[in-house]
Amino acid sequence: MPRRRITQTDVAAMAGVSQATVSFVLNGSTPAGVRISEETRQRVLDAIRITGYTANPAAQRLAGGGLAQILGVFTYEATFPRASRDFYGPFLVGIEHAAERLGVDLLLFTSAPVQDGRRRLTREGWQRLGVADGCLLLGQHEHRGELQHLLDTNYPFVFIGKRGSDGGRLPYVGADYVGGTVRQIDRLVALGHRRIGYVGMRGTDQPTLDRVDGYRSAMKAQGLTTRFVELDDVAATAAEIVDQRFTAVVVAPENHPEELADELERRGKQVPDDVSVLLLGQPHHPRRGGRPWSGFSVPREEMGARALYLLSRLVADDGPKRDRETGRTATAADVELHQILVCPDVEGGTAAPAREPQPETDNRTDPA
């Protein structure tokens, strides 16, 4: 479990003063009748420097120095552009619903500098995070060094999406892409398919790695050969599917499945009668009135909500939060840092039985 965040109490203990004295030094003012010597003030400042304590400006404004009841949301990519609106929206809905139940406010961090199209938590970013008691991180292009820095400085955070770290200390709520992909292959095999391809670029992001792992393991378990189509052009991809005589493909959702199906039909292959197409997640670029896709969905709304609940538990040492609906108080004890949620199957209308009987095995080697 990540180490506890440094608090004013820790600073006070090191300096040998009361927490109130630390608060007075941080605020730069004292009540009438209270005097703090320069020596005491310097001890407090030295303790702040040694412990690495970062003052929370919002918390300082609260009577008694309690928590601000503010949890942050930081996205490595722009959150609201039209192209990704439907992708990020459900995460934010889940986060908002959980915040309402917990009685906390949300702060969306949007001013961090953008470098190479991605936001970065540079010097200004670290300071701004201190406004919130903890923060949710979201996006596909995170900077691993920044995540390690947050762990090293004990700042409470949770990543939405499976992520690895040294010692497994990084808290996250992710989706079971591996299990979901395995089920889709088993589903196609049950429909009589044997020539099943994987369509999508094999990048290094975690969802892609998990999908590929699920595809490989399921195909191996079924005694079938893996075949990958990694073409960036939709027309070329459709041509390759026809050339390889696939009767079914599983498709990473960012690969424009509607356009791919259109291209297949231009080549005389109907979906799903000639080629079954299963999506490994919701389409990133949905078409109005598009096909009802078969495959699985990613529980994005639930992931957002569960991530906020986990974050609230990680900051509970600084002040527990009570769920208004259940009355249960979130605590930092017995926290499950790594949560993987099941990706529900979607029946849709793009999966059908294979038209012709196919051999159980295929001796061709994996071209990859």
* Residue of 117, 152, 157 whose CA lies nearest to 137: 157
Q: Is 347 exposed, middle or buried (0-12, 13-18, 19+ CB in 10 A)?
A: exposed
Tell me the C-alpha distance between 197 and 251, whole Å.
9
Residue 107 three-state SS: strand
Q: Which residue has the tokens 């974050």?
A: 311
Average pLDDT of the chain is 82
CA distance 43 to 48: 9
Q: Residue 118: beta bridge partners?
A: 115
324 is written with which tokens?
Answer: 């208004």
pLDDT for res 169:
86
Cα separation, 130 vs 175, in Å, equals: 29
**pLDDT tens digit sequence for 215-241:** 999 999 999 999 999 988 999 999 999
pTM of the model: 0.75
Question: Which 8-state DSSP code applies to residue 321?
Answer: E
- In the block, residue with structure tokens 């005694």: 223
* Residue 143: predicted pLDDT: 74
153-192: pLDDT as tens digits: 888 999 999 987 777 889 999 999 999 999 999 999 999 9
Structure tokens at 203: 């990048």
**Token pair of 104 as six digits:** 């906390």
Which has the closest alpha carbon to 140: 98, 196, 91?
Answer: 91
Could you give the angle at the alpha carbon of 217 between the alpha carbons of 234 and 263, nearest 5°?
Answer: 15
Answer whether 174's CB lies under 8 Å from 161's CB. yes
